[in-house]
Amino acid sequence: MSSMTKPVVGVIGNAHVVNERHNVQLVGQRNLRAIAEVAGALPLMFAGTPDITDVDALLEAVDGILLTGARANVHPTHFGVEPDPRHEPYDHERDAMALGLIRACVDRGIPLFGICRGFQEMNVAFGGSLHPEIRDIPGRMNHRMPRLENGEVHPDPEVVFADRHEVQLVAEGSFARLLGCETIRVNSLHGQGILEPGGRVVIEGVAEDGTIEAIRIADAPSFALGVQWHAEYDPQSNPINRALFQAFGAALVDHRRGSDNR
C-alpha cells in the first residue's frame, strides 16, 4: 500500500425508507465533508446492516470509523429498559452493527469517533444506559433542536445548529489537552442522552445542567472519543470541531502508517 494514499474512514449508514417503498442507507453529507475537508481522509459509506457488512473485512479496509448522528434512538433493550412507542423511531440493524463494531475498533486500535447517536452507542457498547428524554429529568434543559411555535423544526439551519450551551471539560483530560481550554460552547440537537456511563467510558465533558457531552474509552490504543453535539456541522469554520476532526485525521494517518509497516 502506498504511503501517499489518503486514509479511509468508514461512515456508518442509517436505514431509511424513501417514498414509502424504497429501503435505502443514508449518510448526512456534512459527515462526509468533515472527513474529506478537515480530517483529510476519504469517506467511505458502509451499510449499518450486519448481514451484509462483514466487520473483519470492513476493518481491514479502513483506517478509522465515524459513527454519525441519526434520527433513530438506540433501542432500549440494549440496556435493559422496556421500549416506549413515544421514543421511536429505532434502527435495529444499526444497533446490531454498531455495538459490536465499537468494541472491535477499540480492541484493534482503530480510530473511532462517535457523534450524537454514535456517542450514545459507544456508551451502550461498554454496558452503559441511556435516558430517552433528557429534558424530562428535573433540572435539565431541553437539548432538542429549536422549533417554531407550531411545532415545526426551525427553518434556518444557523438557528438549529447555533451554539446553545457550555460544556465544562475535565482538567488535563484528552479533550482539554486537544482543545487547549476547559470550557467550550456547543450546539445541541438530541433528546436521548447518557444516564449511567459504561464500564470503560470516561466522562470528559458535562453541560451546565449535568448532561454528559464528551467521553473517551479508557485504555483505548488509539483515538476513541465521542461527543453528544454535532461536531460534523461546521468543523470547516468552528475551531473546536475543527480540532476534533484534525485530531481524528492525525490518528488515521498513524493507523495507516502502522498498517504499512506490518
Give the SS3 label for residue 184.
strand
Sign of CA dihedral 100, 93, 130, 168: positive
75, 116, 143, 213: the active-site residue: 116
Distance separating alpha carbons of residues 112 and 106, to the nearest angstrom: 8
**Annotated catalytic residue 37:** no
Torsions phi, psi for 61 (to 5 deg): -90, -15
Active-site entry in 75, 78, 230, 255: 230
Q: What is the dihedral of CA 196, 217, 127, 70, to 10 degrees?
A: 80
Kindly state the cell numbers that stand for 29: 453529507
Read out DSSP for 94-125? HHHHHHHHHHHHHHHT--EEEETHHHHHHHHH
93, 121, 213, 232: which one is catalytic? 232
Cα 13 to the center of its chain, rounded Å: 12
Among this protein's residues, is 116 annotated catalytic? yes
- 3 state DSSP class of 9: strand
Instruction: Give the residue numbers marked as catalytic.
Output: 116, 230, 232
